[in-house]
């Protein structure tokens, strides 16, 4: 059998559609009479491997791939094969347009990825990598996974090293933020390969009628915090991203009956004294996570953060979830000139803010004029900023990659 004669696929959305309509790859096969013939095959298959089965794996892989498959796959012109194991079958690889490795970084996965690199010359598929979290360790202050994130306890130097080796084998490396991309480049990954792919939320989960404008001041606002338990550590008694004025404001506001407070993911040790006065939503899976967020119908959603490399690299996913659900979002920014995921948000508080600063902002935006104005801005940003997964600009970006 001869090698595939086409080049690596590259496209924008229109070219992508055209390629799916047209056989674009030649293989030398034997027909039934044992005579050699050229067989035209469409390179319309994406092999998708998800290593992270929690939220990141769904947001960065399963949700967008599901939508692409639903949009293009119904015609039979595009196919997605999502697999927990790596596949090397000839009949599959000869149709593979690209192979997508989401957070593939374990040392035991490195030989499998190297095997794909060896086969790439024959099958001409594109190798695409994705990572949206900071996992490395350096000498700068906060240049590591923070100790309050229990997920970091499973990531050693061998994983950090293999992640870089795997990225170097790729044709494209997708990251969720500019800061993360610049850091990866410093690790030795070719800067020309790195593409920033911001996170987006699926409208097929988060779409709901826009809230009606309020006509009176909100007297007792409902507030939700949707950060996962990786943002604090109950075992080590580390408040993590809640270890700032936001913690004092929440406790004080709940104790004095100023807010209705909801927290997702479990009960942080810091809230033990107010647990009977707040609503606690246990950790839910990624397919159901949006439901309690929207059902709470909170007036405000908050995103407290403390400065470290993990948070410099984070995306603004919590803010756009709040925008889509109709909650006014307030996020932390950093005073050390480092980027915060919430630098682009409409309402922010610096990491050195006080309880009084927070309360003053909440009071101000409980007024109808301020609240309604911000709500409209958030809705408009979701629709015009390409932050829904289904947005044409977002799909165009994905099809250029795959």
Q: How far apart are CA 121 and CA 70, in angstroms?
A: 30
Q: Residue 146: which residues within 8 A CB-CB, separation 6 or more?
A: 152, 240, 306, 308, 310, 311
152, two tokens? 């970091």
Q: Are residues 67 and 34 in the same domain?
A: yes
Residue 369 confidence (pLDDT): 98
Order across the sheet with 348-350: list the strands: 279-281, 260-264, 222-225, 300-303, 328-333, 348-350
Q: Are residues 186 and 301 in the same domain?
A: no
Task: Place 12 in a pLDDT band, splitting at 50, 70 and 90.
Answer: low
pLDDT single digits (tens) 157-215: 999 999 999 999 999 999 999 999 999 999 999 999 999 999 999 999 998 899 999 99
Reply yes or no on whether the pLDDT at 16 is more than 60.
no
- Round the CA-based radius of gyration of the chain to a whole number and report it: 24
Determine, yes or no, domain membership for 1.
no
Q: Please, what is the Cα angle at 228 between 195 and 345, to 5 degrees?
A: 55
What do you get for the CA distance between the two ends of the chain, in Å?
26
CB count in 10 Å sphere of residue 173 = 25
Residues 311 and 305 sit within 8 Å (Cβ to Cβ): yes
C-alpha separations of 119 from 78, 115, 176, 374 in Å = 22, 6, 28, 52
Residues 364 and 346 sit within 8 Å (Cβ to Cβ): no
CATH number at residue 308: 3.40.50.2000
Q: Are residues 76 and 157 in the same domain?
A: yes
Q: Are residues 70 and 81 in the same domain?
A: yes
Reply yes or no on whether the pLDDT at 307 is more than 60.
yes
Rounded to 5 degrees, φ, ψ at 183 are -70, -45
Residue 28 confidence (pLDDT): 47
Range of the domain at 326: 203-384
Residue 314 confidence (pLDDT): 97
pLDDT single digits (tens) 185-200: 999 999 999 999 999 9
Task: Place 1 in a pLDDT band, splitting at 50, 70 and 90.
Answer: very low
Q: Are residues 378 and 397 in the same domain?
A: no
Q: Are residues 277 and 342 in the same domain?
A: yes
Question: Average pLDDT for residues 263-290, to the nearest whole number?
Answer: 95
CB count in 10 Å sphere of residue 233 = 20
Q: How far apart are CA 37 and CA 40, in angstroms?
A: 10
Determine, yes or no, domain membership for 140.
yes
Give pTM, 2 decimals: 0.89
Residue 349 confidence (pLDDT): 98
Determine, yes or no, domain membership for 42.
yes
Determine, yes or no, domain membership for 7.
no
Quickly tell me which residue has 């007024």 as its tokens.
367
Residue 156 confidence (pLDDT): 95
Determine, yes or no, domain membership for 187.
yes
Q: Are residues 217 and 236 in the same domain?
A: yes
Q: Are residues 172 and 35 in the same domain?
A: yes
Q: Residue 155: which residues within 8 A CB-CB, separation 6 or more?
A: 135, 145
Longest dimension (CA), the chain: 86
CATH number at residue 127: 3.40.50
Burial call 293-303: b when 16+ CB within 10 Å, e when fewer: bbebebbbbbb
Q: Are residues 284 and 166 in the same domain?
A: no
Q: Residue 310: which residues within 8 A CB-CB, separation 6 or more?
A: 133, 134, 142, 144, 145, 146, 149
Q: Are residues 396 and 270 in the same domain?
A: no
Q: Domain total for the chain?
A: 2
Quickly tell me which residue has 């990954």 as its tokens.
189
Residues 86 and 136 sit within 8 Å (Cβ to Cβ): no
């Amino acid at each position: 059998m001869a090698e595939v004669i086409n080049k690596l696929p590259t496209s924008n959305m229109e070219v992508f559609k055209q390629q799916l309509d047209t056989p674009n790859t030649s293989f030398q096969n034997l027909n039934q009479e044992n005579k050699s013939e050229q067989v035209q095959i469409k390179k319309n298959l994406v092999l998708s491997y998800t290593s992270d089965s929690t939220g990141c794996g769904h947001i960065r892989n399963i949700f967008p791939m599901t939508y692409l498959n639903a949009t293009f796959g119904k015609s039979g012109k595009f196919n997605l094969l999502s697999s927990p194991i790596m596949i090397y079958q000839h009949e599959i690889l000869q149709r593979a347009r690209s192979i997508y490795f989401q957070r593939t970084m374990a040392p035991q996965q490195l030989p499998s990825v190297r095997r794909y690199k060896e086969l790439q010359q024959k099958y001409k598929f594109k190798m695409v990598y994705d990572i949206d979290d900071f996992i490395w360790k350096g000498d700068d202050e906060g240049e590591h996974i923070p100790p309050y994130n229990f997920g970091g306890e499973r990531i050693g130097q061998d994983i950090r090293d293999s992640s870089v080796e795997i990225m170097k084998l790729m044709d494209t490396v997708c990251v969720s933020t500019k800061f993360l991309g610049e850091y990866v480049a410093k690790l030795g990954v070719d800067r020309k390969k790195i593409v920033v792919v911001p996170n987006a939320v699926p409208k097929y989960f988060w779409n709901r009628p826009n809230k009606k404008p309020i006509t009176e001041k909100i007297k007792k606002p409902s507030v939700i915090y949707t950060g996962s338990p990786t943002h604090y550590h109950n075992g080590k008694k580390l408040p993590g991203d809640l270890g700032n004025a936001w913690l004092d404001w929440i406790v004080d506001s709940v104790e004095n009956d100023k807010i209705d407070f909801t927290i997702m993911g479990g009960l942080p040790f810091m809230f033990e004294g107010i647990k009977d006065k707040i609503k606690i939503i246990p950790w839910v899976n990624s397919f159901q996570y949006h439901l309690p967020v929207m059902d709470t119908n909170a007036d405000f959603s908050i995103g407290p953060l403390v400065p470290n490399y993990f948070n410099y690299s984070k995306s603004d996913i919590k803010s756009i979830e709040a925008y889509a659900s109709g909650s006014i979002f307030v996020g932390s920014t950093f005073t050390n000139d480092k980027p915060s995921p919430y630098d682009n948000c409409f309402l922010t508080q610096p990491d050195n803010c006080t309880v009084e600063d927070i309360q003053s902002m909440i009071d101000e935006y409980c007024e109808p004029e301020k609240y309604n104005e911000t709500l409209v801005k958030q809705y408009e940003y979701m629709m015009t900023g390409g932050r829904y997964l289904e947005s044409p600009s977002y799909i165009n970006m994905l099809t250029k990659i795959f």
